[in-house]
Amino acid sequence: MLGLIEFIARNLVDDPNSVGVYEIRNDRYATVVGLHVAGEDLGKVIGRQGRVAKSMRSLMRASGALHGKHHVGLEIEDQGQERPDSQDAPEQLAEQGEP
């Protein structure tokens, strides 16, 4: 599944070397994949109205169904964005004014 997302993303962006795919969660019933792209390529990966991202998620769902997964997720981030640690996430969201 990681190879599928990496292949699609590398063919969409201008700078394929900036594409990074990593596994956030992979257990018996769920898989969540993270995708890093350069900031200027973020729009190409998301697409108009999120159509490209939605299509990538649909392909992941089909691939996941073949592997017996009930939940499949894709998180898209640009290179400048930092991922909060799982322990610090609620505190950082509170600082940003989000519930």
**Mean per-residue pLDDT of the chain:** 80
| High-pLDDT (> 70) share of the chain, % | 79
- Using one digit for the tens of pLDDT, what is the confidence trace for 74-90? 988 876 555 544 444 44
For residue 84, what are the domain limits? 2-95
Q: Are 60 and 7 in contact (CB under 8 A)?
A: no
**Side-chain-facing half-sphere of 93: CA atoms under 13 Å:** 10
Q: How many domains does the chain have?
A: 1
State the CATH number of the domain containing residue 43. Answer: 3.30.300.20
pLDDT score, position 51? 93
CB of 57 closer than 8 Å to CB of 65: no
Confidence (pTM): 0.71
Is residue 93 scored above 70 in pLDDT? Answer: no
Backbone angles phi, psi at 31, to 5 degrees: -140, 130
Beta bridge partners of 34: 22, 75
pLDDT category, 29, cuts 50, 70, 90?
confident
